[in-house]
């Protein structure tokens, strides 16, 4: 029987993702556990994992060493990073982990660098002939303003400090107010996320478009899958322009019938439960890849027009249940 321990880092609120990996192991008949790391015992995912470990913040210089020690001690075979801050850290250490027999579900350093910079992302895609939002840095703004325009941090996430500027006064204010901003053309049209899954050689195995009908705090609240050939082709075009590994989510809007990218997040999306429910089981495929098994391409193979309507849930914990984070590394 195959064995694999999975580590989901910075698990926080990613309860569905942790559960999906647990189900993947069970469905495949793989012996193993799903571990998580976090810095806070009140993080919900801590309370659904098989075990939880405390490690430093991803910005701490000792972070990678702590995770590596944890993986070695607990015989982890697959690491799944989940937040933008840690992606460059893990991307730089892919070979180090691989040398220890550990797969890291992250794209390579160049791809991570490009995708973590929204200006670079659109410049790279447009240079490759992929429809992407026209983007400027403050010093390069066109003399004739094309209002409305959209201002956001080059390296931001979760719609934090993202603003539509409808007047010259608003544009000047937001460009000054937002730290290290990028300014993009305002894309009018329905918004979609393309959940994309690639193998470790960069071959796209699945593209699942999801319409983001209602968004809350940057995450889909209500939405549906859409088996749209133009959207699927856009996802494949992005895979030709950038080499991805594992799960990626591509944000776009359909403008006058043309799907146009405005950012790419090379990690699992917050709306991944809908994609999994539609039959594209990214966690299961990732487990199979980590075990060295072949996973065939399944482009277009998912349930279309499947709706998701999300809701909040809660754990109720007394003080005895808060002492759950084990030390992530021995000092």
The arithmetic mean of pLDDT across residues 191-209, rounded, is: 98
Per-residue pLDDT tens over the stretch 269-290: 999 999 999 999 999 999 999 9
The pLDDT > 90 percentage for the chain reads 87
pTM of the model: 0.94
The arithmetic mean of pLDDT across residues 2-8, rounded, is: 97
Q: Which domains does the chain have, with CATH numbers?
A: 5-106+315-327 (3.40.50.20), 137-184 (no CATH), 188-309 (3.30.470.20)
Question: What per-residue confidence (pLDDT) applies to 214?
Answer: 85
The arithmetic mean of pLDDT across residues 71-95, rounded, is: 96
Helix 15-28 to helix 282-290 angle (10° resolution) is 60
Give the CA-trace dihedral at 149, 154, 155, 161, to 10 degrees: -40
Question: What per-residue confidence (pLDDT) applies to 160?
Answer: 78
Per-residue pLDDT tens over the stretch 219-247: 788 999 999 999 999 999 999 999 999 99
The arithmetic mean of pLDDT across residues 165-180, rounded, is: 95
Place of tokens 């409808």: 166
317 and 47 Cβ atoms separated by less than 8 Å: yes
In whole angstroms, give the CA distance from residue 187 to residue 167: 16
Place of tokens 């027009």: 305
Which range has the worst mean pLDDT, 38-42, 106-110, 130-134, 207-211? 38-42
Confidence of residue 330 (pLDDT cuts 50, 70, 90): very low
């Amino acid at each position: 029987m195959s064995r694999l321990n999975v580590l989901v880092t910075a698990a926080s609120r990613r309860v569905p993702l942790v559960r999906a990996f647990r189900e993947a192991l069970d469905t495949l008949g793989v012996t193993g556990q799903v571990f998580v790391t976090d810095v806070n015992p009140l993080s919900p995912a801590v309370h659904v994992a098989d075990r939880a470990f405390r490690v430093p913040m991803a910005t701490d210089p000792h972070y990678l060493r702590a995770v590596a020690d944890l993986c070695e001690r607990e015989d982890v075979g697959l690491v799944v990073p989940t937040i933008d801050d840690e992606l460059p850290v893990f991307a730089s250490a892919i070979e180090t982990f691989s040398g220890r027999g550990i797969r890291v579900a992250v794209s390579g350093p160049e791809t991570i660098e490009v995708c973590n910079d929204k200006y670079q992302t659109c410049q790279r895609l447009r240079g490759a002939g992929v429809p992407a939002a026209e983007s400027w840095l403050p010093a390069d703004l066109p003399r004739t303003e094309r209002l409305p325009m959209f201002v956001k941090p080059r390296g931001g996430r979760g719609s934090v400090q993202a603003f539509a500027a409808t007047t010259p006064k608003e544009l000047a204010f937001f460009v000054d107010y937002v730290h290290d901003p990028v300014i993009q053309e305002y894309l009018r049209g329905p918004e979609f996320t393309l959940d994309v899954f690639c193998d470790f050689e960069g071959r796209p195995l699945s593209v699942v478009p999801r319409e983001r009908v209602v968004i809350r705090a940057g995450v889909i609240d209500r939405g549906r899958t859409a088996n749209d050939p133009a959207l699927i082709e856009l996802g494949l075009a992005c895979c030709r322009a950038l080499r991805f590994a594992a799960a990626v989510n591509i944000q776009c809007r359909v403008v006058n019938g043309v799907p146009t990218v405005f950012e790419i997040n090379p990690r699992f999306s917050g709306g991944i439960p809908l994609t999994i429910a539609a039959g594209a089981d990214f966690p299961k495929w990732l487990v199979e890849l980590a075990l060295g098994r072949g996973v065939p391409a399944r482009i277009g193979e998912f349930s279309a027009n499947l709706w998701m309507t999300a809701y909040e849930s809660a754990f109720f914990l007394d003080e005895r249940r808060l002492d759950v984070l084990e030390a992530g590394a021995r000092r």
